[in-house]
């Protein structure tokens, strides 16, 4: 049975395979993508979960929030574990005619961009039929808010502190989707909880695409970004409306911007809500703020160019 797209939120299945009572923080963006994925992808399915916020908060012994088969592994080897699970499922199907399970991986930015990148690259290169979802809260949140390869330029973390010597992280954020596309996969996309229908339908497309797919999910983190949990969706929406987090998809060689932003809001609107960026609004850091703005616009223009070339 194929996953089915929706037109409105009312069309989302009411079944819940992610139980309440987990310990994820108030305002955390992770539960939305997990709930939507388990709703969108038909049974049977199996989840492989890298160590991280999602794993530690949903499987505190003797409790679990997972109502589907679930495998825990280390930070670095979720994609490798999933590759083995997928290969075993193929063999069981061939030998015994078993119904094919969809294999889904959830990994944070640390376990995807950094520690688990080699395993992810291998999974993509070998062509395993796996849906890989990176929930990106832009730092190693469950180990102390250390910077990762996904941390944006200028952000304050415990290992890139904003002070007199440096005004936060100095390096750009990795472009996970373009790296994934370079492996020759058929589908990849960015997602955001403030745009749930767009997110749900991208999960559906990934589920219905044979071979490896990658979904990159914006994950608001009140704890590590220092904002009021009640403003989580507001922060997520502003990330899109300022062009900081473009929503687009790569589908069989074509790139499409799924949420066009013709009149972007000021980047300052996004930064001023979060403690990790407030130092960028000080006069002495104006140079870095302007540099970040140029990076955002250059990235958007390049995305528009690619969408035009490959439409």
Q: Does residue 99 belong to any structural domain of this protein?
A: yes
Give residues with Cβ within 8 angstroms of 62, minimum separation 6.
none
Domain that holds residue 164: 9-309
Q: Does residue 4 belong to any structural domain of this protein?
A: no
Q: Which tokens in the block code for residue 73?
A: 């592994």
Q: Does residue 305 belong to any structural domain of this protein?
A: yes
Q: Is the peptide bond before 297 cis (omega within 30 degrees of 0)?
A: no
**Residue 199: what pLDDT?**
98
Q: Residue 220, Cα to own-chain centre: how many angstroms?
A: 10
pLDDT digits (tens, 9 = 90+) for 99-134: 789 999 999 999 999 999 999 999 999 999 999 999
Give residues with Cβ within 8 angstroms of 195, minimum separation 6.
237, 240, 247, 259
Tell me, what CATH number does 161's domain have?
3.40.50.970
**Residue 98: what pLDDT?**
74
Total number of domains constituting the chain: 1
CB atoms within 10 A of CB 125: 12
Phi and psi for 128 in degrees, rounded to 5? -65, 145
Give residues with Cβ within 8 angstroms of 11, minimum separation 6.
none
Residue 53 parent element (H or E): helix 53-58
* Alpha helices, DSSP H, located in 127-274: 176-181, 196-208, 222-225, 232-241, 267-271
> pLDDT in tens for each of the 311 residues of the chain?
688 999 999 999 999 999 999 999 999 999 999 999 999 999 999 999 999 999 999 999 999 999 999 999 999 999 999 999 999 999 999 888 877 899 999 999 999 999 999 999 999 999 999 999 999 999 999 999 999 999 999 999 999 999 989 999 999 999 999 999 999 999 999 999 999 999 999 999 999 999 999 999 999 999 999 999 999 999 999 999 999 999 999 999 999 999 999 999 999 999 999 999 999 999 999 999 999 999 999 999 999 999 998 77
Residue 218 parent element (H or E): strand 213-218
pLDDT digits (tens, 9 = 90+) for 26-64: 999 999 999 999 999 999 999 999 999 999 999 999 999
The whole-chain average pLDDT of the chain stands at 96
Q: Does residue 121 belong to any structural domain of this protein?
A: yes
Q: Does residue 237 belong to any structural domain of this protein?
A: yes
**Residue 239: what pLDDT?**
98
Let me know how long the chain is: 311
223: region left, alpha or beta (phi > 0 left; psi from -120 to 50 alpha)? alpha
Q: Does residue 1 belong to any structural domain of this protein?
A: no
């Amino acid at each position: 049975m194929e996953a089915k797209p929706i037109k409105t939120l009312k069309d989302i299945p009411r079944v819940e395979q992610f139980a309440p009572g987990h310990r994820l923080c108030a305002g955390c963006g992770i539960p939305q993508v997990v709930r939507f994925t388990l709703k969108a992808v038909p049974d049977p399915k199996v989840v492989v979960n890298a160590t991280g916020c999602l794993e530690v908060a949903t499987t505190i012994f003797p409790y679990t929030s997972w109502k589907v088969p679930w495998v825990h592994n280390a930070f670095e080897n979720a994609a490798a574990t999933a590759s083995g699970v997928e290969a075993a499922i193929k063999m069981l199907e061939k030998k015994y005619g078993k119904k094919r399970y969809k294999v889904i991986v959830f990994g944070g930015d640390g376990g995807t961009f950094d520690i688990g990148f080699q395993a992810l690259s291998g999974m993509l290169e070998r062509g395993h039929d796996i849906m890989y979802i990176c929930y990106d809260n832009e730092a190693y949140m469950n180990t102390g808010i250390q910077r990762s390869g996904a941390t944006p330029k200028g952000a304050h973390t415990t290992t890139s502190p904003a002070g007199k010597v440096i005004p936060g992280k100095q390096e750009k954020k990795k472009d996970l989707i373009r790296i994934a596309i370079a492996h020759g996969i058929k589908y990849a996309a960015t997602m955001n909880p403030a745009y749930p229908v767009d997110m749900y339908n991208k999960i559906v497309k990934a589920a219905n695409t044979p071979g490896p797919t990658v979904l990159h999910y914006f994950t608001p983190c009140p704890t590590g970004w220092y904002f009021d949990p009640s403003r989580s969706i507001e922060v997520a929406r502003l990330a899109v409306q300022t062009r900081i987090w473009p929503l687009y998809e790569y589908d069989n060689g074509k790139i499409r911007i799924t949420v066009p932003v013709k009149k972007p809001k000021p980047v300052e609107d996004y930064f001023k809500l979060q403690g990790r960026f407030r130092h960028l609004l000080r006069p002495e850091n104006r140079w870095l703020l302007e540099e970040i703005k140029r990076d955002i616009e250059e990235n958007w223009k390049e995305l528009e160019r690619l969408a035009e070339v490959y439409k």
